[in-house]
Amino acid sequence: MKQLEFETLDNFQQFLKYLEVIYPKQTIIFFTLQSSTFSMVYCSPALKDQSKTLLNAIQNTHTVHQFQQFKITVQSQCYGTLFLLNSCANLLLNDQPTQQQLMNHLNSVSPEIEKMVHIIQKVAKTNFPVLIRGESGSGKEWVAQLIHQCSNRIDQPFIAINCAALNTSILESELFGHVKGAFTGAIKDHKGLFERATTGTLFLDEIAELSLDLQAKLLRVLETGEFTPLGGEKVIKTHARIITATHRALREEAKHGRFRYDLLYRLRVIPIFVPPLRQRKMDLPLLLKQIMNEYCPSHQEPIITDEAMSILYQHHWAGNIRELKNTLLYALTMMDDGSTLDVHDLPQELVYEHAKDQTVNCSQEVTSKISKQTLHAVLESSHYDLNTVLEKLKISRSTLWRYRKKWDL
């Protein structure tokens, strides 16, 4: 094994940044080696969410030695091992991932995700456009990346852009590029995303926010595979696979004139629906563990109490996985001892919502048991002392009044 020596830790960390520039298409991973057990310290930024999966894959694979690896020493002391891998996805998922591998990759055991994975496996073998529909924070870009990683384009670029983040003129320049002098400030030629992703995958998030003018130009690219940069004359050919995503119903958008029907039919060749978190709450333990693996050292992962877990299960999760992640990060920050995550560590709105639901459920449970005979017996035993009746039945004064009026008691 080759050896690289550094005078200081800062020098090594700066070296890692240089590697990202020198090897943009390779995966960079650094491990420390303690007691023959790998511990991941650094990996390429694009792999942050997959660090634990990648660590397990390297520990269990026999092909690591086929890649470049270097022994790192700092001040003449062994510090760890640096790997340069040609492709993370081949290591993570193999060339033909099984359905179970994909389920593990998505941290799920739910039937809804299993159905989605089944579609992903079939879609990845084709070059057809895919439209991903799902609520905000449900993981639409993650699904798009998985399609790319399972396809034969795995070694080609995956480029993503949020169509809602840029105004129309800037977005047009980003998608199709421009030539020098095309507009004020265009001081040099600029390659657009369609050209940069020509043999890879282009992911257009929030496609419903695209202006009607840009929709027409996108339709042209989908139909012919050709486009012309802004201010240019040369027609450029692209073979990029197009994956789009939205949280809106495009049929409704088209019905109201905000989206072209012809573009809708071009994009929606294969639709994939990402289920919201509230429909897959059985995945909560796996998702929570994945988030803690990412942000907590393995020996410092806290135990979530049953009471706190109950609140997490009952929450609606309108923000889906993004909200779950932010909630857990808040709770990890608020923990007192760092070993147990309890109810008081959770955001107050979750705790309040849970307490409110418990009160309503308790009231409904008590109210559902009240019959005419029960109310009459309580009134008699309390000598018609209404305060005593209210205390015994745990109901409000207005509810008691309605029942007495209903049964003429």
Q: Are 274 and 132 in contact (CB under 8 A)?
A: yes
Q: Out of 1.10.3470, 1.10.287, 3.30.420, 1.10.8, select the CATH number for domain 288-346.
A: 1.10.8
**CATH second-level architecture of 94-273?**
3-Layer(aba) Sandwich (3.40)
Locate tokens 């017996």: which residue?
A: 377
Q: How far apart are CA 333 and CA 328, in angstroms?
A: 9
Predicted confidence at residue 93, as pLDDT, reads 43
Q: Which residues contact 277 (CB under 8 A, 6 or more apart)?
A: 138, 283, 284, 287, 317, 320, 321, 323, 324
Q: Are 296 and 289 in contact (CB under 8 A)?
A: no
Lookup: tokens for 98: 């099984």
| pTM score of the predicted model | 0.67
Q: What is the pLDDT along the chain (409 residues), one digit of tens a residue?
A: 678 888 888 888 777 777 766 665 566 777 665 544 445 455 555 555 555 555 555 554 433 334 567 788 888 888 787 777 654 444 444 456 788 888 888 889 999 999 999 999 999 999 999 999 999 999 999 999 999 989 989 888 999 999 999 999 999 999 999 999 988 888 999 999 999 998 899 999 999 999 999 999 999 999 999 999 999 999 999 999 999 999 999 999 999 999 999 999 999 999 999 999 999 999 999 999 989 888 886 567 889 998 899 899 989 999 999 999 999 999 999 988 778 999 999 998 888 876 665 554 544 444 556 777 778 778 877 777 887 888 778 787 777 877 887 887 7
Q: How far apart are CA 132 and CA 140, in angstroms?
A: 6
Show me where the domains of the chain are located.
Answer: 2-92, 94-273, 288-346, 354-407
Q: In 137-254, where do the E strands start and end?
A: 158-162, 201-205, 226-227, 236-237, 241-246
Burial class (CB in 10 A: 0-12, 13-18, 19+), 382: middle
The 10 Å CB-count burial string (b at 16+, else e) for 197-224 is: bbebbbbbbbbbbbeeebbebbbebeee
Q: How far apart are CA 90 and CA 50, in angstroms?
A: 13
What's the one-letter identity of residue 188? K
Predicted confidence at residue 354, as pLDDT, reads 67
Predicted confidence at residue 358, as pLDDT, reads 55
Q: Are 144 and 243 in contact (CB under 8 A)?
A: yes
Predicted confidence at residue 61, as pLDDT, reads 44
Q: What are phi and psi for residue 222, nearest 5 degrees? A: -65, -35
- Residue spans of alpha helices (H) in 106-139: 111-123
Identify which of 136, 77, 65 has the alpha carbon closest to the alpha carbon of residue 317. 136
Q: In 206-364, where do the E strands start and end?
A: 226-227, 236-237, 241-246, 270-273, 303-304, 340-341
> What is the four-CA torsion angle of 89, 92, 94, 96, rounded to 10 degrees?
-80
